[in-house]
Amino acid sequence: MVNKIAELIAPHIEGLSAEDIISLIEIPPRPDMGDFAFPCFRLAKTMRKAPQLIANELASSIENTDFIDEIKTEGAYVNFYVNKEIYVKSIIDSALEDDYASSDEGKGQSICIDYSSPNVAKNFHVGHLRTTIIGNSLYKIYSKLGYTVHRINHLGDWGTQFGKLIVAYKAWGDEEKVKSDGVAELMRLYVKFHEEADKNPELNDEARAWFNKMEHGDEEALKIWQWFVDISLTEYKRTYNLLGMDFDYFTGESFYRDKTEKVVSALSSAGLLKDSEGAKIVDLEEYNMAPCLILKNDGSSIYATRDIAAIFYRKETFNFVKCLYVTGQEQKLHFAQVFKVIELLGNDWAKDQLVHIPYGLVSLEGAKLSTRSGNVIYAEDILLEAIDKIKEIIQDKNPDLDDKDNVAKVVGVGAVIFNDLYNQRIKDVSFKWEKLLNFNGETGPYVQYTYARCASILRKISDFNPSEKIDYSLLTDSATIDLLKVISRYPKAVKDAAEKYEPSVIARFAMDTAQAFNKFYDSVKINVEDADVRNARCMIVYITKNIIKDALGLLGIGCVEQM
């Protein structure tokens, strides 16, 4: 419908394509202002006329068509009142298509998303939960737009800390304990190392020596290190399984250890490498940034060196049009430096293809979360706690429900994900159980419940068949139109979410759809005697159900038929 309106407008305006016009068209806040509005403010400059005048001229020059009942102007807006029946049909027809809101804009192009990336031998904490959830949603959104998306887990699995860990393990570790307690025990050993090194600084030299051995391929060192990696990955994968999320590559920092030398020589031949107290740096003063450290004074590479190597590797391997990095805001400078170094090496594409996607903190204020030893919070425990709490609620409200465990998992995990994605990613996220698990609030469970409600309605009406024709004239009441208007926003929501790297656009859309559906449900009776009315209304339930499922899917949230 928007396309058709844009086609009506286009011949009367020079210099704007139908695409431009579509992006300007708005949906007015109140139905009495029309169904679509075209604002003329932006045209005032090029047309050298007052926007109101442009609106009036435009309104009177558009010819009559069957799908527009009336065109009126209000200030600088041209408001279109569409023929309800045609409008309803056009929304339902597009919503029924399998590829509704999908597109092929990304066809043949690839995108790398670097996200989650926990640090080996450390716990998978709440910050990593956020990058995992956001990164996964961006993966789904870009895939829907036709891109080939590579999900990369850039594990923190290399660096001097592993030298420390080897020293600690050899001095105070116990194989059985590491096997039974996993990451928690590795963290304890790491803390122990620092306590001891405060008293005996020579331990630091030992640690450096072990890392040096690792860098030179020493068998014993690498064997212990690999064991630490495996233990950690096993734990992280438990969390990914709970979330129902996966990766295409677990290529961590260690993957690039033989690729940093090339970076150093490229920087050096480009004359970009400078000595600084024995270390090698790239001076970025001209760009108002601290220097980017490339080699430490003992010659070892660092986090940034490996990130630079990774960019070249990914460009060569995937030929990405974008490489996205989902990490906390505290890494803003790191990525600005790394991206600048790539650009200085003669790669202009760095400017718009490398993107850091930061997100806000997790505030635990007021939230009671279980902690393991050392008072650290594990993402896994948060998810398990959410699942348990949902189980209690189900036990209380619907004890006879089938498959309670699965429902509790889908709803509990969904609640945590939705809570993360409902606000703009840069905002902080808090964990208040009463709030995020509330079935009546602006929550995941509320949207999932709306889905289950749709499913239950359709289960009870066995003679509805979505491929049969319905009478659109029976669907012109305001609650139905309001719901359909929300549904019609889906394709734009997907595009906006991708453009802004903002899954919250989809979360808001899902919430709006659920709320509009529940208003519809309160205002019209669905299971009525009259078969034509019943079928027409069932169609609305049917498309709502599909769209909620699709939108929640883009967030990484599942649905259940009963809850």
Binding residues for ligand ARG (CB under 6 A): 114, 117-119, 154, 156, 307, 325, 327
Output the six-digit token pair for 477.
Answer: 């009441």
Which is closer to ligand ARG, CB of 240 or CB of 325?
A: 325
Which is closer to ligand ARG, CB of 135 or CB of 556?
A: 135
Which is closer to ligand ARG, CB of 154 or CB of 545?
A: 154
In the bound complex, what is the minimum distance in angstroms from residue 214's beta carbon to ligand ARG?
18
In the bound complex, what is the minimum distance in angstroms from residue 228's beta carbon to ligand ARG?
15
CA distances (Å), origin 410, targets 131, 294, 376, 542, 544: 20, 45, 25, 21, 20
In the bound complex, what is the minimum distance in angstroms from residue 559's beta carbon to ligand ARG?
31
Exposure of 201 by Cβ count < 10 A (0-12 exposed, 13-18 middle, 19+ buried)?
A: exposed
Q: 């809570």: which residue's tokens?
A: 419
Which is closer to ligand ARG, CB of 152 or CB of 437?
A: 152
- At residue 323, φ and ψ (nearest 5 deg) are -125, 115
- At residue 325, φ and ψ (nearest 5 deg) are -125, 115
Q: Are 399 and 484 in contact (CB under 8 A)?
A: no
> For the chain, how many residues are written?
563
In the bound complex, what is the minimum distance in angstroms from residue 307's beta carbon to ligand ARG?
5
What sign has the CA pseudo-torsion 544, 547, 548, 549?
positive
Which is closer to ligand ARG, CB of 117 or CB of 136?
A: 117
In the bound complex, what is the minimum distance in angstroms from residue 314's beta carbon to ligand ARG?
10
Dihedral (C-alpha) 268, 271, 272, 278: value to the nearest 10 degrees? 60
Q: Are 131 and 116 in contact (CB under 8 A)?
A: yes
Helix pair angle (303-318, 332-344), 10° resolution: 60
The closest residue (CB) to ligand ARG is 156
Output the six-digit token pair for 339.
Answer: 């991206």
Residue ranges in 270-403 assigned as alpha helix (H): 303-318, 332-344, 350-353, 379-397
In the bound complex, what is the minimum distance in angstroms from residue 416's beta carbon to ligand ARG?
19
Which is closer to ligand ARG, CB of 5 or CB of 214?
A: 214
In the bound complex, what is the minimum distance in angstroms from residue 556's beta carbon to ligand ARG?
19
Output the six-digit token pair for 270.
Answer: 């480009």
Which is closer to ligand ARG, CB of 25 or CB of 165?
A: 165
